Amino acid sequence: MNFQEILRVALRSLSANKMRSGLTMLGIIIGVMAVIAMLSIGRGTQASITDQINSMGTNLLYVRPGSTSSSGVRSAEGSAATLTKEDATALEDLPNVVAVAPQVESFGQFAYLGNNTNGRVLGVTPEYLDAMNVKLASGDFVTAQNVTANSAVVVLGSSIATTLFDTADPIGQSIRISGQTFRVIGVMESKGGTGFMNSDTQVYVPLTTAMTRLSRTGQYRGGNSVSVINVKIADSSVQDSVIQSISEVLRDRHRIQFEDDFNITSQQDILNTASQVSGTLTIFLGGLAAISLIVGGIGIMNIMLVSVTERTREIGLRKAIGARRRDILIQFLTEAMILSLAGGLIGILLGALIAGLISGVSVGSTSLRTVVDLDSVVLAIVFSACVGLFFGSYPANRAARLRPIEALRFE
């Protein structure tokens, strides 16, 4: 039998039991649809995180405090208060350093009239705008005078401004941060993000105000402790030399002889870590969805076994008039592959449709982003074909092994 004849017989056999064939494909359809939808969510999250990090520029360094140890147990990095505002000042004159922006981090509750929300509070200096490549949508940012005077002023992230003021202009209004009154002087431009990377859900206050009124930072070697020092360098090509210069300055200031009490990471390091984590999440989501494909494959095997039993006399007759074992094997494998591939194609279309429908849906303060790329589609097609081939092999082999005389006697 040629391929066209095998295909014609397979389609005729499947169309003779349309309801059964449709229900058999349903398992594959649901499996492929879940794989496409889950992978699109994972890839979309990965793309959002990457865009968020890249939007700050690739020429950023983050100097963070080291870790503390007690009774031989070392705590997480950043737990030690070993960096100060004075350390940041000492880094400003280093070669290839464009901007230095120390910051203090804390969390607070923001309230205006009957509206309230929670978010991150950053104590910053005017250099933060340039160092972190962020922009104002309206109003003013924290100034040097605000830092010197410990002013109770705040710049709102776009999401915080919308939550508290809706469409009203927040500039000049007063809000309460953890029970303390602050005057709104500006609103940041929306940048978006996902989860902890969403810069729209944070507010900015003068560094000294955060130190004295909100985060209550401690002292280290006579200076006020900071959470991180952001360093913008001239170009990523001079990254290694700048890191070496920063390390030398801080070791000298902290009188370090052996182990550093600070850590320096680059934007690329953070991007690599975030990509690895989100990639692992994408694989995990795809693996969970693929389980339903296996269940669908078992359904195909079950129906094909039923089909072999029902068509035993047909198989015996075909063998009696000259059909070879290989012809019977290919015939039933083709039927299994048609069920699997047809279900896979329908599942891809439905999965892409679902991905399009949920893209932009808000989950808390984050909007879902989905990306359906070609490799996800190819993976779904190949996997569904492999499922059909694997789970169709046993019924096909069982049909091919039937002896003609016994098959003709079957009732």
Give the pLDDT confidence of 16-30 residue by residue, as tens digits.
Answer: 778 888 888 888 888
Q: Is the pLDDT of residue 226 over 50?
A: yes
* Cα–Cα dist 268/266, whole Å: 5
Q: What is the pLDDT of residue 262?
A: 84
Mean pLDDT of the chain: 81
| Res. 237 pLDDT band, cuts 50 70 90 | confident
Q: Is the pLDDT of residue 236 over 50?
A: yes
> How much of the chain, in percent, has pLDDT values that exceed 70?
87
Q: What is the pLDDT of residue 71?
A: 43
| Res. 70 pLDDT band, cuts 50 70 90 | very low
Question: Once rounded to an integer, what is the mean pLDDT over residues 397-401?
Answer: 79
Q: What is the pLDDT of residue 172?
A: 92
Q: What is the pLDDT of residue 366?
A: 63
Which CA distances in Å does 177 have to 119, 160, 171, 208, 214? 10, 12, 16, 15, 8
Write out pLDDT tens, residues 259-284. Answer: 777 888 887 777 777 777 777 777 77
Q: What is the pLDDT of residue 68?
A: 52
Question: Once rounded to an integer, what is the mean pLDDT over residues 176-192?
Answer: 89
- Cβ–Cβ under 8 Å, residues 79 and 105: no
Residues 6+ apart with CB under 8 A from 225: 65, 81, 82, 83, 84, 217, 218, 219
Statement: the pTM of the whole predicted model exceeds 0.75:
no
Q: Please, what sign has the CA dihedral across residues 51, 56, 58, 63?
A: negative
Q: What is the pLDDT of residue 149?
A: 92
Max CA distance (Å), the chain: 101
Q: What is the pLDDT of residue 174?
A: 93
Q: Is the pLDDT of residue 156 over 90?
A: yes
Tell me which amino acid residue 227 is.
S
| Res. 73 pLDDT band, cuts 50 70 90 | very low
Write out pLDDT tens, residues 320-345. Answer: 777 777 877 888 888 888 888 888 89
Q: What is the pLDDT of residue 74?
A: 46
The region of weakest confidence among 121-135, 326-340, 342-356, 394-408 is 394-408
* Cα–Cα dist 331/1, whole Å: 9
| Res. 55 pLDDT band, cuts 50 70 90 | low
- Domain extents in the chain: 3-53+272-409, 81-260
| Res. 56 pLDDT band, cuts 50 70 90 | low
SS (H, E, C) the chain: CCHHHHHHHHHHHHHCCHHHHHHHHHHHHHHHHHHHHHHHHHHHHHHHHHHHHHCCCCCEEEEEECCCEECCEECCCCCCCCCEHHHHHHHCCCCCEEEEEEEEEEEEEEEECCEEEEEEEEEECCCHHHHCCCCEEEECCCCHHHHHCCCCEEEECHHHHHHHHCCCCCCCCEEEECCEEEEEEEEECCCCCCHHHCHHHEEEEEHHHHHHHHCCCCEECCEEECCEEEEEECCHHHHHHHHHHHHHHHHHHHCCCCCCCEEEEEHHHHHHHHHHHHHHHHHHHHHHHHHHHHHHHHHHHHHHHHHHHHCHHHHHHHHHCCCCHHHHHHHHHHHHHHHHHHHHHHHHHHHHHHHHHHCCCEECCEECCCCCCHHHHHHHHHHHHHHHHHHHHHHHHHHHCCCHHHHHHCC
Query: Pick from 142, 105, 106, 109: which is nearest to 125 by CA?
Result: 142
Higher pLDDT, 280 or 186: 186
- Cβ–Cβ under 8 Å, residues 193 and 360: no
Q: What is the pLDDT of residue 20?
A: 81
Neighbours of 118 (CB within 10 A): 12
> How much of the chain, in percent, has pLDDT values that exceed 90?
19
Higher pLDDT, 256 or 186: 186
* Cα–Cα dist 148/145, whole Å: 5
Q: What is the pLDDT of residue 203?
A: 93
